[in-house]
Amino acid sequence: GGFAAVVVAAGSGTRLGHGMPKALVPLGGRPLLAHALEGVRAAGVAGRTVVTVPAGDTELSALARACGAEPVEGGATRAESVRRALAVLAGERPAGVLVHDAARCLTPPAVLRAVADRVRAGARAVVPVVPVVDTVRRVDDDGRSLGTVDRSALRAVQTPQGFDAALLRAVHAAAEAAGTDPAAITDDASLVEAHAPGTPVETVPGHEHAFKVTRPLDLLLAQALLEQARD
Ligand code: C5P
């Protein structure tokens, strides 16, 4: 089989402060989700795309369908949203699954293709990564400094993350069975080290345009990038 894509878009967008679900926030006249799904389509890697939408939503569901994707109601956390999307794909045996944040709406299609290519070549878990630009310091619970971490050994992790479909299902099921707090699961690849030890998580170069639109400043940056692309 081909690839399936899971685009998680059920976040509330509280930190963005627009008073609407983040995936609906307009960017250059179109909702964030439209940009994200356009990127997935342009990459040409996914046969089926499942989109998690906030409970009670109708607008994002309609948009997903108009883009040829299948909406499903998301959960209270990102991890629970991913599980609901995987349940929709339960009858399928895709070669691989790409899990992508809708909030990384300007991710270049080449990044999606690079992740999918690596899975097709046999990798069971693949993440796009970028260098960390800030100096990073570890602190204790009271905020007291414990020292600087060697930045050269650190990478920030983006999406899409690519997986062997059976592995992704298995590690989510294992995390659920272990009673792991879903709110503490910030991405899918971290479940591989936790529940499939010995399975390597491979990295490919990410891209600075694949940043996650989280705070108001991120939206300004995304707007500027879109305007630049129009020139
Ligand atoms: O909250 P955070 O920025 O980590 O969210 C990352 C992605 O996960 C976003 O695209 C968001 O829409 C999605 N998400 C979701 N369901 C939730 C929370 C977040 O699909 N309950």
CA 112 to ligand 1 centroid distance, Å: 18
Q: State both tokens at 11.
A: 């976040």
CA 209 to ligand 1 centroid distance, Å: 18
Top CATH class, 3-230:
alpha beta
CA 145 to ligand 1 centroid distance, Å: 30
Per-residue model confidence (pLDDT) at position 1? 62
Nearest-CA residue for atom 6 of ligand 1 = 101
The pTM assigned to this predicted structure is 0.97
Q: What is the mean pLDDT of residues 41-61?
A: 96
User: What whole-number percentage of the chain has pLDDT above 90?
Assistant: 92
Contact 219, 22 (CB under 8 A): no
Q: Please list every protein residue whose CB sits less than 6 Å from any atom of ligand 1.
A: 8-11, 22-23, 52, 74-78, 81, 101-103, 212, 214
| Pocket-testing residue among 60, 81, 105, ligand 1, by greatest number of atoms within 8 A of Cβ | 81
Q: Is the pLDDT of residue 131 over 90?
A: yes
User: Mean pLDDT of all residues in the chain?
Assistant: 96
Q: Is the pLDDT of residue 118 over 70?
A: yes
Nearest-CA residue for atom 21 of ligand 1 = 77
13/26 Cα distance (integer angstroms): 12
Residues 6+ positions from 7 with CB-CB distance below 8 Å: 33, 36, 37, 40, 49, 50, 51, 52, 69, 100, 101, 102
pLDDT single digits (tens) 202-211: 999 999 999 9
Contact 53, 74 (CB under 8 A): yes
